[in-house]
Structure 1
Amino acid sequence: MKSLFLTMIIVMINFNVYAEDKPYTLGTVWEVSYIQVNDGKLEDYLKNLNSGYYPIYEEFKKKGWITSYKAISFSRNNPNDWNLMLLTEYPNWATFDRKEEEWEAIVDKVFKNKQAQESSDEDRKNIRVLWGSKIGREMIPVI
């Protein structure tokens, strides 16, 4: 028993020393999407998000599945550039281990029926181009 206890202490000390050597601590997980909204359609796009996307995310927040979400508007560097970034913050990677049915149940609750969801999706597709999304872990500097 003593040797198990000593082994655990040594492992914990080594782990703490290793963790202290890193110039960062791991934070939350972020999904970033880059959107090119058609000229003159930004307000329409944001209204679409307000009617479906954001109510879904509010439900996810209530369940603790996401921490926050935001949209940031940018000026374009050229006419074909993206101009909106959507950010979603998740507490950790384990959030993504949920069964797909759990996520879909919330979407179904907000939209009430598949036709409403498909209509909202189609409206969004007609006024924007999704450039892509990335998911990464925040690295908080240790100062």
Structure 2
Amino acid sequence: MTHALLRRAMLFAAPIALLSAAPALAQDFPADPGQYWDVTGIELTDGGSYAYMQWLADAWKKDQEFAKSKGWISGYKVLQNTHPRDGEPDLYLVVMYKDVPNAEESLAQRKAYIDWYAKQSKNIEKLEAESNDRLKMRRVMGTTMLQEMILK
């Protein structure tokens, strides 16, 4: 009989406990999701920094401005690691965007890039050759996707 009384007391107390916990559940999370950032680490080769910075200031910047004009990205930056330790990138290439494109959007973007490059007399083979030429200037260490958290 004691077990039955204890069970009834718990059944009576459970809704009250849940009601007192409701304000804690209703509280907002202290941060909202923001933009996505693709961050690519670049290690510069000895003697390659000037040529690579020229490429960034010309071709890479044009590519980013094209993407920005289409609304695909919201911004981009080149950040220098002023005191890189052994194994750390010298530069970080950052591209910011509000949403991750789905497969259909990615295909449309690829087609728009191919058309845009064709107007500059470039095709996939030429772009690959240019990328191969940059191997003398830099090594891509990897890319990380980050998401900004906007604190309230």
In which range does the TM-score fall when normalised by the shorter chain?
Answer: 0.7 to 0.9
Match in the other structure for 2:135: 125
Displacement of 1:76: 4.1
Q: Check conservation: 1:76, 1:82, Cα contact below 8 A.
A: no
Give the distance between the partners of 1:49 and 1:96, measured in 2 at CA. 27
CA RMSD of the aligned region, Å? 2.4
Could you state the TM-score of these two structures normalised by the residue count of structure 2? 0.70
Name the CA distance, whole Å, in 2 between partners of 1:71 and 1:107: 24
Correspondence for 1:140: 150
* Unmatched 5+ stretches in structure 2: 1-21
- Are 1:58 and 2:65 matched, yes or no? yes
Please say which structure displays the higher CA radius of gyration.
2
CA shift, 1:79, in A, is 4.8
Give the gaps of 5 or more residues in structure 1: 1-13
For 1:1-143, list aligned pairs within 5 A: 18=26, 21-93=28-100, 95-97=101-103, 98-110=105-117, 111=120, 112-142=122-152
Contact 2:114 2:123 in 1 (8 A): no
Q: Supply the AA of the counterpart residue of 2:94.
A: L
Mapped to 2, the partners of 1:117 and 1:134 lie a distance apart of 23
Identity of aligned residues (%): 26
Kindly report structure 1 stretches of 4+ aligned residues shifted beyond 6 Å: none
Q: Give 1:45 shift.
A: 0.7
Contact 1:73 1:85 in 2 (8 A): yes
Contact preservation (8 Å) 1:67, 1:91? yes
* SS across alignment from 1:102: helix
